[in-house]
Amino acid sequence: MNTLKKRKSGKKGFTLMEMLIVVAIIGILIAIAIPTFNNALTKARISADEANLRSYYAEVMTNYMLKDSADKDKKLSEYVTDTAPTSVLVGGATYKLQAGSCAITVDDDKETISMVYTPTNKKFDAVTIPGGATTGQSK
């Protein structure tokens, strides 16, 4: 009984066992949170890449449609700078593809461009631009 009175009245704090339990709980929470955070980060990078490629597509098509009379014989393929870009130039700013690769196909006869964006993470589907509203879709 005296030991309880001493302990209750004198010392305040956590025991070693209580501290170990708290550390274990924090470790479990971190183990759950990290994969979730990484998955969200990957989805955000893929969405940013797709948005930048859509902007690039719109800019190339707009430039082609608004070509002046001096460039009337210029073909659509001449407006596309690279068929496998690692970065795209949109509005004077260069955007690097962060989470995948792109393959661009130009058909001068039909005056069309098709871009296929393939995320590096195999868990996500490839997207065709224009079209392909599968942003962030998992397999």
- Tens digits of per-residue pLDDT, 52-68? 999 999 998 888 888 87
The predicted structure's pLDDT at residue 24: 96
Q: Return the SS3 of 79.
A: coil
Closest by CA to 64, choosing from 55, 56, 54, 74, is 74
pTM for the full model? 0.72
CA 34/CA 29 separation, integer angstroms: 9
CA 130/CA 136 separation, integer angstroms: 16
CA 139/CA 133 separation, integer angstroms: 14
Query: Which amino acid does the sequence have at 30?
Result: I
Using the predicted structure, report yes or no on whether residue 92 has a pLDDT greater than 90. no
Closest by CA to 129, choosing from 59, 45, 42, 44, is 59
Q: What is the mean pLDDT of residues 97-112?
A: 90
Averaged pLDDT score across all residues of the chain: 85
